[in-house]
A = this chain, B = another copy of it.
Amino acid sequence: MPESPKGRSRKKDAARTLEDLEVVFDALAHAQRRHILMALHFRGGAMLAGDIAERFACSWPTTTRHLGVLRDAGLVEVRQDGRHRTYRLNAARLQSVVGDWLGHFTPSKAPKSRRRTKT
């Protein structure tokens, strides 16, 4: 499916958003994956795979799979670093996808307004 650089139709944009919602909320549905995101955040946004895996009781491959789900959701990014792998939190995407969706539920306000705590 070719991607229009600038002239993205609103329909596809909406579809893209729906897909984002699905993959992100699906990733957030598991406690350990939420925990991984937290750990990443509280350790400055980036950790080695081994450091992440050691924090959890389950086996390393299981954590690897969770990291894969988070990566497919775009919530973390991987970078090979020698024989290590560094996972970096993508907090902006988390805020964007979840925050935008949550913003639709603001009580009696314009549902498309961005999260601006200025009012």
Contacts and interface: CB of A to CB of B under 8 A. Distances in A.
Nearest to A38: B104
Interface stretch (A1-9, A20-28, A79-87): A20-28
Interface in A67-119: 89, 91-92, 94-95, 98-99, 101-102, 104-107, 110-115, 117
B91 A95 contact: no
A61 interface: no
23 contacts: A18-B31, A21-B31, A22-B31, A25-B25, A25-B29, A26-B29, A28-B28, A28-B29, A42-B111, A42-B112, A44-B112, A44-B113, A45-B110, A45-B113, A89-B105, A91-B105, A91-B117, A92-B117, A95-B105, A95-B106, A98-B98, A99-B102, A102-B102
